[in-house]
């Protein structure tokens, strides 16, 4: 949505010299200094913040790993007691999976994607800022709890019933559930941000078939995040509701099932492995052609394999549950699927090898880590195929063989490529020529130390050593293997310490260098380094694959203003939106300036989670209301009070502002948000059906519910009709005022009826079926309230002059969410009636 502006075209100055153009754009896009840095929304700053904070968390996770290996170095060790050990290994896994790996690639993608795609920023800079603050505050909650002695201690997977209130009293488990859910807000917002940016903000002419391969990797990864995180968010909410309000979703004595948590967790957990791997693979596919000095071979086959891997990853979650007692037919299906996913992985690996073999490969420090990736990841992949076979998995399940496999895949498949990326793009951050005095010994320490640590775990696992134990006897033959493994861990830590020292030294003492030291052919090198806030003085026209460009000549042309939007205008931060398929420019996107609103909104969101953590339940709705009010404030400076018409973008072309076209970034983002919510709802319906089939039985159907389903469905239909009426009236240049008032009131009435339905449920603490009815109705009530809030917001926007027959995005959003809220009731009531029938029978 465009920022409030005028159509004064006289403010365009196309006669500026390159230096004057640079200064004018830098003034427009600059972030204030001092406390103003907290208001930063520029993707360069936010991407760097994500990566730096992820590295800090990586260091914390590494320290925890050293404590684990110190404890296990010798048998019968008393270095750490079992209670503290449980906290340490839980936090190690949690930090590495949730606070390092995913945020690290989010930061890299936020920093690099606009540059690789030829854009000036992300689609929603303030949303990215909000995601960063959620990540910072959520991670801080976990680390502070650990320092205070209240860290989660049930494992990073939080299996029930171990993590239930009965076996884990206190707030330790709540810290994990609430802190991780807080952090996951960041992941979901990043997914929406990246999907919209990739689809709508590529350089003109950059069709999907010309997009750099890293864009494809991140598009699929973001889609997987949008679909993969909601099941875990749902599981965390249900478990927290069980712990806080005794709703028995996972209690087998009251109709629940602990395995439901495993299903929800691994519906997220196994796709997460590929969510972590795919961005790293995208880094490899970007770097390898540069060092091979030729184009990446099998581009189309790699794109197909990326999509196939994303699709197959959602059919593998039972891979982690082979020993829980599922039917043999299901075992065979998931075993075959787990083996099948190796095919798209192999396609990419052979494409990389073929690119290197057919080129004139130049060897440098990044290539050392690429070779390390091949060695480590292939070993992890082969043992993954072994674990996909049910008989072998049954023998090694929950042993150190699985620990070794996990680390070979994640460190080999993510950390080694990210270290390669660090050295490859370091000149982009520093503007300096790299000096590799410490880089080579650091690499060998990491490679040797890693394999010494984790290869020996394969052996201890095959010898029967179970994971998650804090000590072991001295007569089982594991002693020397564990001692060498711990020694290797400390070697690895020394290697990472050298990498850190090396990076600091290069920031401080390396000589300044010109751009593109690797002679790469991708767009991120067609700009000054370090990159200016606006990336490109002019937005390029792309007429070939965007990983085979003459970057040096293109960089000179763009710096000289030969491209689109090569002029400042009305102090606006402008970039282009394009057709999703062809890449033809179809709108001007005017981005918001720095703002403290993301910070205040994240603080209000954090207050909501802390209210639950400290059992201050009265404070939670107050904090939620503050979040809604602050989100309303986000839109106050956005939009225009008059139609702007076609806007000159240079090169003889003019396109509308994004608020005046249907296919704009705001609309696409809302479709993504509805998809995410629908995925969470699907997981809730799955859980309801699962428990209905596994643990039927209760004391009779729900009383006093005769009129409530029909009443809620009828008002939902009325709300949908009112939203449509408002949109139609607006399209006819008539006032939608009354229809929006009606839509707001009906949405509120639907919410009230659903709340009455929740109250009418008999004591939901007595059986999981009753608790599920509460969960289903709560979901529907929340979305009815969202629809009412958006209708009220659109009413305010219309009365403020920001909505017209052309500028109708607000009304389209109201209709979409009202339709979703209405249709979402249908499966909920159908399932509730079915639950009542099952219970009554």
Least confident of 190-194, 327-331, 805-809: 327-331
How many CB atoms lie under 10 A from the CB of residue 588? 27
Work out the average pLDDT over 601-606.
98
Instruction: Give DSSP secondary structure letters for 501-562.
Output: HHHHHHHHHSPB--S-TT---SGGGSS-SSPPTTS-SSBPP--S-TTS--HHHHHHHHHTT-
C-beta separation of 396 from 462 below 8 A: yes
| Residue found by looking up tokens 């107050």 in the block | 622
Determine contact, residues 256/695, Cβ cutoff 8 Å: yes
Structure tokens at 470: 């804090």
Report yes or no: 89 and 63 within 8 Å, Cβ to Cβ. no
| Average confidence (pLDDT) over 202-207 | 96
pLDDT of residue 3: 45
**What is the pLDDT, as a whole number, of residue 696?**
63
Mean pLDDT of 533-544: 94
| pLDDT at residue 17, as a whole number | 86
Task: Give the whole-angstrom CA distance, residue 241 versus residue 506.
Answer: 50
Residue 507: per-residue pLDDT: 82
Q: Are 229 and 279 in contact (CB under 8 A)?
A: no
Quick one: pLDDT at residue 8? 42
Q: What is the 3-state secondary structure (H, E, C) of 52-89?
A: HHHHHHHHHHHHHHHHHHHHHCCCCCCCCCHHHHHHHH
Residue 211's nearest CA partner among 495, 544, 477 is 544
Long-range CB pairs of 331-337, under 8 A, 24+ apart, other chains included? 331/390, 332/390, 335/388, 335/389, 335/390, 337/312
Q: Say whether pLDDT at 15 is over 80.
A: no
Q: Which position has the token pair 């690639």?
A: 105
Residues 376 and 368: their CA atoms lie apart, in Å, by 12
Average pLDDT over residues 80-95: 95
Q: Rounded mean pLDDT of the chain?
A: 92
What pLDDT, on a 0 to 100 scale, did the predictor assign at position 504?
87
Across the range 383-390, mean pLDDT stands at 94
For 67, residues 6+ apart whose C-beta sits below 8 A from its C-beta are 80, 88
Tokens read off for 771: 């608790």
The partner residues of 3 in beta bridges, in order of sequence, read 638
3-state class (DSSP) for residue 240: helix
Close Cβ partners of 698 (under 8 Å, ≥ 6 residues apart): 255, 766, 767, 769, 770, 839
Mean pLDDT for the stretch of residues 507-535: 88
Residue 277: name the closest of 198, 390, 384 by CA.
Answer: 384
Counting Cβ atoms within 10 Å, is residue 328 exposed (0-12), middle (13-18) or buried (19+)?
Answer: exposed
For the chain, percent of residues with pLDDT exceeding 70? 97
Residue-wise pLDDT for 345-356, tens only, equals: 999 999 999 999
- Other Cβ atoms less than 10 A from the Cβ of 32: the count is 12
pLDDT at 755: 96
Q: Which pLDDT score is estimated for 637?
A: 80
SS3 at position 765 = coil
Count of C-beta atoms within a 10 Å radius of residue 245: 12
- Segments of 287-353 assigned E as strands: none
Q: What is the pLDDT of residue 483?
A: 97
What are the tens digits of pLDDT across the range 98-148? 999 999 999 999 999 999 999 999 999 999 999 999 999 999 999 999 999
Tell me: pLDDT of 582 over 80. Answer: yes
Q: Which residues contact 744 (CB under 8 A, 6 or more apart)?
A: 788, 791, 792, 795
Distance, in Å, from the CA atom of 359 to the CA atom of 580, rounded to the nearest integer, reads 33
**In the block, residue with structure tokens 């099998």:** 298
pLDDT band at 5; cut points 50, 70, 90: very low
pLDDT higher than 60, residue 6: no
Q: Provide the percentage of residues in the chain whose pLDDT is more than 90.
A: 84
Decide if pLDDT at 839 tops 50: no
Rounded CA separation 456/483 (Å)? 10
Q: How many residues are listed for the chain in this entry?
A: 841
Q: Do 685 and 705 touch, CB atoms closer than 8 A?
A: no
Given a cut of 60, whether residue 703 has pLDDT beyond it is no
- Sorted by sequence, the CB contacts under 8 Å of residue 21 that are 6+ apart come out as 537, 561, 566, 567, 568
> pLDDT tens across 50-72, in order?
999 999 999 999 999 999 999 99
pLDDT for the residue numbered 334: 92
Element (H, E) at 11: none
pLDDT digits (tens, 9 = 90+) for 217-227: 999 999 999 99
Contact 130, 171 (CB under 8 A): no
Contact 541, 204 (CB under 8 A): yes
Q: What is the largest CA-CA distance in the chain?
A: 86
Nearest alpha-carbon partner for 154 in 97, 103, 93: 93
């Amino acid at each position: 949505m465009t920022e409030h502006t005028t159509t004064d075209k006289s403010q365009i100055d196309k006669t500026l010299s390159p230096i004057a153009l640079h200064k004018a754009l830098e003034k427009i896009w600059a972030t204030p200094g001092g406390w103003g840095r907290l208001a930063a929304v520029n993707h360069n700053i936010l991407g760097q913040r994500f990566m730096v904070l992820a590295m800090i968390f990586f260091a914390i996770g590494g320290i925890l790993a050293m404590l684990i290996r110190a404890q296990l170095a010798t048998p019968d060790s008393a270095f750490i007691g079992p209670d503290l050990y449980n906290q340490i290994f839980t936090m190690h896994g949690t930090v590495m999976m949730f606070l390092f790996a995913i945020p690290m690639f989010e930061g890299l993608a936020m920093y690099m994607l606009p540059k690789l795609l030829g854009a000036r920023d992300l689609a929603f800079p303030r949303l990215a800022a909000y995601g960063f603050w959620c990540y910072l505050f959520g991670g801080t909650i976990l680390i502070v709890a650990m320092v205070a002695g209240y860290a989660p201690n049930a494992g990073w997977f939080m299996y029930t019933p171990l993590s239930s209130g009965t076996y884990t009293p206190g707030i330790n488990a709540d810290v994990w559930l609430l802190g991780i859910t807080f952090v996951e807000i960041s992941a979901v917002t990043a997914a929406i941000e990246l999907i919209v940016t990739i689809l709508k903000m590529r350089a003109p002419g950059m069709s999907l078939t010309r997009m750099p391969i890293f864009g494809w990797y991140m598009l699929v990864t973001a889609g997987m995040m949008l679909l993969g995180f909601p099941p875990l968010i749902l599981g965390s909410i249900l478990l927290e509701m069980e712990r806080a309000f005794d709703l028995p979703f996972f209690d087998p004595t009251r109709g629940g099932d602990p395995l439901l948590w495993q299903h929800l967790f691994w519906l997220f957990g196994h796709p997460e492995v590929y969510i972590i791997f795919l961005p790293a693979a995208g880094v490899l596919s970007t770097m390898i052609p540069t060092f091979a000095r030729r184009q990446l071979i099998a581009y189309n086959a790699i794109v197909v394999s990326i999509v196939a891997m994303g699709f197959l990853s959602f059919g593998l979650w039972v891979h982690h549950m082979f020993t829980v007692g599922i039917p043999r037919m299901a075992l065979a299906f998931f075993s075959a699927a787990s083996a099948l996913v190796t095919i798209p992985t192999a396609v990419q690996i052979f494409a990389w090898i073929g690119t290197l073999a057919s080129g004139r490969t130049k060897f440098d420090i990044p290539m050392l880590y690429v070779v390390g990736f091949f060695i480590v990841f292939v070993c992890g992949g082969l043992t993954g195929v072994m674990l996909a076979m049910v008989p072998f998995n049954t023998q090694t399940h929950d042993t150190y063989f699985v620990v070794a496999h996990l680390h070979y895949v994640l460190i080999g498949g993510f950390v080694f490529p990210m270290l390669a990326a660090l050295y490859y793009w370091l000149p982009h951050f520093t503007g300096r020529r790299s000096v590799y005095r410490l880089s080579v010994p650091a690499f060998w320490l990491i490679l040797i130390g890693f394999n010494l640590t984790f290869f020996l775990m394969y052996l201890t696992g095959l010898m029967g050593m179970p994971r998650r134990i804090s000590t072991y006897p001295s007569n089982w033959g594991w002693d020397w293997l564990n001692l060498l493994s711990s020694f290797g861990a400390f070697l690895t830590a020394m290697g990472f310490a050298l990498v850190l020292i090396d990076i600091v030294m290069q920031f401080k003492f390396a000589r300044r260098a010109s751009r593109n030291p690797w002679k790469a052919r991708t767009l991120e090198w067609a700009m000054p380094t370090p990159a200016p806030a606006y990336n490109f003085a002019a937005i390029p026209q792309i007429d070939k694959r965007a990983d085979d460009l003459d970057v040096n000549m293109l960089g000179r042309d763009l710096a000289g203003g030969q491209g689109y939007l090569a002029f400042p205008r009305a102090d606006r931060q402008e970039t282009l939106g394009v057709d999703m398929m062809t890449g033809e420019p179809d709108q001007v996107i005017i981005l918001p300036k720095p703002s403290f609103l993301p910070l205040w909104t994240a603080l209000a969101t954090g207050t909501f989670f802390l209210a639950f953590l400290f059992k201050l339940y009265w404070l939670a709705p107050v904090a939620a209301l503050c979040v809604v009010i602050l989100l309303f404030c986000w839109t106050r400076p956005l939009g225009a009070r008059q139609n702007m018409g076609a806007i000159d973008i240079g090169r003889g072309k003019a396109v509308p502002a994004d608020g005046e076209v249907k296919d704009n970034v705001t609309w696409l983002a809302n479709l993504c948000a509805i998809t995410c919510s629908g995925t969470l709802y699907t997981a809730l319906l799955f859980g309801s059906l699962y428990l209905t089939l596994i643990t039927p039985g209760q004391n009779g159907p729900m009383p006093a519910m005769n009129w409530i389903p029909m009443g809620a469905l009828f008002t939902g239909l009325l709300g949908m009709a009112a939203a449509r009426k408002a949109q139609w009236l607006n399209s006819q240049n008539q006032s939608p005022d009354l229809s929006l008032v009606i839509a707001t009131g009906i949405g509120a009435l639907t919410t009230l009826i659903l709340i009455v339905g929740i109250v009418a449920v008999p004591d939901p603490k007595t059986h999981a079926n009753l608790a599920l009815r509460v969960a289903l109705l709560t979901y529907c009530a929340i979305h009815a309230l969202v629809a009412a809030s958006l209708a009220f917001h659109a009413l305010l926007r219309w009365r403020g002059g920001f909505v017209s027959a052309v500028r109708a995005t607000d009304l389209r959003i109201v209709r979409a969410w009202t339709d979703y809220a209405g249709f979402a009731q249908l499966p909920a009531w159908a399932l509730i009636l079915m639950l009542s029938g099952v219970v009554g029978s």
